[in-house]
Structure formats: structure tokens, C-alpha cells
Structure 1
Amino acid sequence: MDIKWLEDFLSLAQTRNFSRTADDRHVTQSALSRRIRALEAWVGADLVDRSTYPLILTPAGKVFSNSASEAMRLLNDARAQLRVRGQDENLLRISAGHTLSLNFFPMWLNGIHAQAGDIHASIMPANVHDSVLSLVEGNCDLLLSYYHAELPVELDASRYAYVSLGSEVVLPVSVPNREGAPTYSLPGSKHHPIPCLTYIKASFFGRVLDRILSRSGQACYFTCAYESDMAELLKRMALTGHGLAWLPESSIVRELAEGRLVRAGGDQWSMTMDIRLYRSMDNKNTTLDRLWQHLLSR
């Protein structure tokens, strides 16, 4: 029996909807259905009445739900106690996207040390999906993430709190020509499309770019010259003149100041996002509480 089956079942018992639970659990609906079936096979009884909408728990499901809730509480309490004993009490495990890990986090942590004292941090770079899952499953203390109303982080507001740490602008840039103007500038034309260094569509910045293009109110003409899910790789390609790239401003502060990259489009081609730090309210780490109170007081 996989512990994830219990978590799936308890989420389903709360939402009473396979689709919503699949979204909450970051799995496909078919995968969720298979896991619930596997749990029922392990229990030896049907737990969910699928003949109604919204679905309801069977009598066996109601009994098992109480036992599963208590089992998960005991397991999580034991894990939390053992983790505290086995680690530096001053260490905070932080999950963050690669761009935030490289560019925002080091300067932010320096400021925290100066204002709130010595806090040890372990940074775990990951994509957005894995970072959120790490917080939900208790594998990190904090989640550092971008946020935009059109690209929300799906976390239960009653269980997870956040503070805003700043903002980030994603903007189009290019190497300059001899006159200092962008070599490649938006919007391009049908006869002269811009070579574009773009993101894989399934990535977070891929979705950011989709929103920028759909909101610009202007046609854009470009060809995909290179594709990646990492902004740092696109930055390197842009610096060597391979095309125009949309990059987070924090990753190109020096390059913009030195004139090695220049802005390649107006404000309609940019997007501003919030930078947020999330925590679980169930996490009782004393160092986390101290940091959180400091952040709230600012």
C-alpha cells in the first residue's frame, strides 16, 4: 500500500470530485482513478460510490476515512519529530525555480542575514510543479515562486500562507547593433521575422510568454531559432547574437547596465510578476516561525 493512495483518498473525500482532486494532487484523472482502485483492492471494499454526482463515500469509505485521517496525522507527526532531531534546527529547506535560485535568492538571503540573524538555508532548484509538490509533501520548509493572477500557484489558502518579497519583470532583449539599437526588435514583419530564443511551451516561462503575446494586442512575427526550458541557456544564446529572448530582468541586470543586451520592445511586450515565499501553517519549525515573523513585520 502506497501512502500516496491514502492522501489521494482523503483529498477525494473532501472534494467529492475526481477532476478537482486530480488537479490538487498534480496527477491525471486516470492515474488518480487507478490509485483509488488500488487502495480499494488493498482494503477489500469499495470506498467510493461512483453512481452519484457529486460522489459520496460508501459506508466502508466513511469508516476508512476516519482511520486514514488518524494514520496520516500520526505518520506526519512522527516524520516531523524525526526530521527535527536529525537536522540542524537552524536549517531551512527552500524549494525554488532555477531562475530564482540563481539570481534572486542569494541577494535576498544576504539581506535576511543582515536583518534577522544567522539562518542556514538549503536551496533545492526545481521546476514549478516539483517545487509546489515538495512543499505539499513536506519535503521543504519554504517555496520561493513567481506568481501572477493569470498563472496562479494552486495552494489551499487555509493551509498555506505567503509573503511578497518583490516583483520581477520578464522583458524582450537583444544584442545591440553598432548604433546601440536592438539587432532584433519587436514586432518584426512577415517578410523579416525575428529569430526568437523561446521557451518550451509546457514550462513556466513558456506559459508566461504565451500570456505576453496574447495580451500585447499586436501581431508578432518570429521564427523559433532555439528552444529551452531554462532562462539561463536562452540568455547565453542571446548574448552571442542568436536572436531575441524574453528574460527575467534579475538575470540580466549587469548585461543591461553594460549595454551588452538592450530592450527589444515596449511595455506591451513585458509582464510583471510577484515574487512570493510560501509556507505550510502546519510546519512548527521554530526557525521558520522566527523568519516568518520578521518578514511579516517588514
Structure 2
Amino acid sequence: MNIEQLRDFLCVAETLNLTLAADRRNTTQSNLSKRLRSLETYLGRILIDRRSRPVSLTPAGEDFVPKARQVLFEIDAFRGGSAPWSPSEGGISIVMPHSATVAVFPRFRERLSHGMSGIHFAPRIANHDTAARLLVRSDTDLAIVTRHPQVPIDEDFTVFQPADIATDRLVVVEPPEAGDAVLPLHVPHPLTYIGRMWEASRIPLPATDEVPHGMAAYIRAHCLAGRARGVLPESLVEADIAAGRLAVRHTNASMDYVISLFCAPRASRRARQVWALCADAMSNSPHMVWFLLAMLCRRQGRGCNEGSDRVDGQLRQHSTLRGTAWTSATPNNATSTGSPRSTTMPSPIRRRSGTRRRSTTPIA
């Protein structure tokens, strides 16, 4: 077995189409099939049902998808072994739901990288309640969490202040030619957080049956295969919608939600700076957050420069117009000349974790 066979398998799992997968992997279909069979031989399990049209994953294949993703995750992290992963060296650990790995986190990281050299993330996939436990114990620096007004978040999160970094919404997608055809409806599992969001805002749809899934990628794959409707985060399928591979079924239901960044009590200083800047920027102007992040990046590692005063000046001007207060996010509370500044970064903690009450309602 080699790593490329894992990538081959995940590509097929995403597309459920051998021809399309072969094209994406820059190989022939026969070559791809040989590599997949080699992987199945190594594992001693049949992963793909080739008798169905389109192809589908066997139960073993569905079980193997998250394992394959995690293996690639770990290998990619190890390949960056020369990067400073530990908090003491400037690395930032971050957890997020699987759906955020496709668009939300890459955009967050890419925007951050425009001006922030030397910042490295150690990402990890975690569901809602796992992320809450990791955050409380400071086993992660940051957590990306989805929040919906009608679905309570885990009680552990109420200890922390959220910094809203993005918005998204659940959409019902279908094959472009579906019309009012009655099709299976693939939905997030009700034990997941986005599954609970769907339960809170569900709408009647023409469906033969409702099929729950633990991972949004499975729902997308069934919809792309042209045999189902699905309920998915819009950010996960926006490229498919733009390319005409999927269409949004318009509804009157409001399924918008917020994506927030939380910071652990003992997070690294750089993680706290990223969180504080997001919190300040979003409270003053959501549209300025990425500009401010870039400015913070340019200041880090070289001390503060005149850019920090420009950032603070623009935010003070903007906050004056909004009638809100602005707290400087300059690291180390220093001016460009290094003199102390009587401002503090906002706190990511609302109250001591020792005062929190445990939730009696399990939330995934």
C-alpha cells in the first residue's frame, strides 16, 4: 500500500464515479482500478461496490473513509515536522467539524497567510461535544464551531467568548434536472450538530425516504451521483452549484448559522492574538477582519511598526461612527516605539470554568 492509493480511494468516495476520479487523479480508469484493488487486497476488505451504477461504497468502504482521511492528515502534519508545531514555538492547534475543513478553514488559513509568515496550524477534526471538552481542558488552542440560534451549543462553550469569523447556511441541493421528482433525501445525522440544526428548521420535501449520514461528504457524493437530494452546508457545495453540477432547491426556511472561533484558557499567546483580533475586528466591522489579521501578521516576529498605529487609527475612526469602543489588538500592549500602552486584549473567557454547569442534554 502507498499513500497515493489512499488519495485514489478518497477521490472515488467523493465522486462515486471512476471515470471522473481517474481524470482528477491524472490517470487512466484501468490504472485507477488496479490501484484500488491493490489497496483492497492489502486491507483484506472490499471497499467499492463496482456492480452498482454509479459505483458506491461498501459498509467497509464507508467505515474506511474517515480513517483514510485521518491517516493523510497525520502524514501531512509529519511532513511539516520542521515547522514549529508546539505552542512554545509558535504553533497553533485547532479543532473543527469535518464540514469546516472543505472551505471555512482553508479560507481562514489562506487569508491569514497573506501577511502572517511563520504561523503553523495543527488541525484536527472533532465533533461538537469533543471540541468542547478539548477546549475546556486546553488540549487545543482554538476551536472552529458552528452555532445556530435555535440549537443550544454544549454547556462547556458557554464559558468562552465566541469570535464570529464567518456565516453559512444549510441548503437543500439536488441534481439540476430533478424538478419535483420524488428522490431519497440524504440528511446530516440527528446526533451531529448540523443534524440538530436540520431538525430545528426542517421543511417538507418530496422524498421516498430520509437517509442520515455522519459526514457531509457522503451526502454530497450521493447528490453528485444524480440520485438524491441532500441537506448540506452551502460552503461545502458552492463550487458544485457554480459549475452546474448541483442546484439549490429554494425554500422559505431560514437555515443560516454562524461559524465562531473559540480560544482555550491556556492557549498559546499567538493563538490568543489571532482570536483577539478576530473578536475586535468583528465587533467593529466584519468586513475588516482579514485586513486586520494581515496587519497583525506583519507585526509579529519583527516587533510593532507603524502599521499597528494605522490599524488602531482606522478602527478607532470606525468605532466612533458606530458608537462603540475599540481596544487595541497590538501584541504585548506596545506602541510602534515599544512604549507601554494602557490597553488590553479582549478576554476569550466569560467566567471561570469551575462555575459552569454540566449540560443534561447530550449534543453531538
How far did 1:193 drift?
4.2
How far did 1:134 drift?
1.2
How far did 1:152 drift?
2.6
The answer to whether the Cα contact below 8 Å between 1:93 and 1:141 also exists between their aligned partners in 2 is yes
Residue 223 (structure 1) aligns with: 208
Q: Quick one: which amino acid aligns to residue 146 of structure 1?
A: T
Deviations 1:10-34 (A, max 9, x none): xxxxxxxxxxxxxxxxxxxxxxxxx
Equivalent of 2:243 in 258, 274, 285: 258
Q: 1:284 to 1:233 in 2, by over 3 A?
A: closer
Q: 1:96 to 1:85 in 2, by over 3 A?
A: closer
The answer to whether the Cα contact below 8 Å between 1:172 and 1:246 also exists between their aligned partners in 2 is yes
- Which residues of structure 2 form unaligned runs of 5+? 1-83, 282-364
Equivalent of 2:188 in 191, 199, 221: 199
Q: 1:264 to 1:119 in 2, by over 3 A?
A: same
Q: Distance in 2 between matches of 1:158 and 1:229?
A: 25
Residue 296 (structure 1) aligns with: 279
The answer to whether the Cα contact below 8 Å between 2:168 and 2:257 also exists between their aligned partners in 1 is yes
Deviations 1:120-173 (A, max 9, x none): 101110211111111112211111011012113234677412200010011101
- Which residues of structure 1 form unaligned runs of 5+? 1-83, 178-182, 186-191
Q: 1:86 to 1:97 in 2, by over 3 A?
A: closer
Q: Distance in 1 between matches of 2:136 and 2:187?
A: 30
Residue 241 (structure 1) aligns with: 226
The answer to whether the Cα contact below 8 Å between 2:141 and 2:267 also exists between their aligned partners in 1 is no
Q: CA RMSD in A?
A: 2.5
Task: Report matched runs for 1:1-298 at 5 Å.
Answer: 88-155=88-155, 159-177=159-177, 183-185=178-180, 193-213=182-202, 216=203, 219-224=204-209, 226-268=211-253, 270-280=254-264, 282-283=265-266, 285-298=268-281
Q: 1:224 to 1:205 in 2, by over 3 A?
A: farther
Q: Distance in 1 between matches of 2:277 and 2:120?
A: 15
Q: Distance in 2 between matches of 1:293 and 1:205?
A: 27
Indicate the SS of the match to 1:93: strand
TM-score by length of 2: 0.50
Q: 1:174 to 1:286 in 2, by over 3 A?
A: same
The answer to whether the Cα contact below 8 Å between 1:225 and 1:243 also exists between their aligned partners in 2 is no
Q: Quick one: which amino acid aligns to residue 201 of structure 1?
A: P
Q: Distance in 1 between matches of 2:147 and 2:93?
A: 20
Q: Quick one: which amino acid aligns to residue 252 of structure 2?
A: D
Identity %: 20
Q: 1:158 to 1:199 in 2, by over 3 A?
A: closer
Q: 1:260 to 1:167 in 2, by over 3 A?
A: same
Q: 1:133 to 1:258 in 2, by over 3 A?
A: same
How far did 1:85 drift?
11
How far did 1:251 drift?
0.7
How far did 1:205 drift?
2.3
How far did 1:94 drift?
0.5
Residue 35 (structure 1) aligns with: none
TM-score by length of 1: 0.60
Deviations 1:102-122 (A, max 9, x none): 221011111112244431101
Residue 34 (structure 1) aligns with: none
Indicate the SS of the match to 1:207: helix
How far did 1:250 drift?
0.6
Q: How many residues align?
A: 198
Indicate the SS of the match to 1:246: strand
Q: Distance in 2 between matches of 1:226 and 1:244?
A: 10
The answer to whether the Cα contact below 8 Å between 1:93 and 1:140 also exists between their aligned partners in 2 is yes
Q: Distance in 2 between matches of 1:195 and 1:158?
A: 37
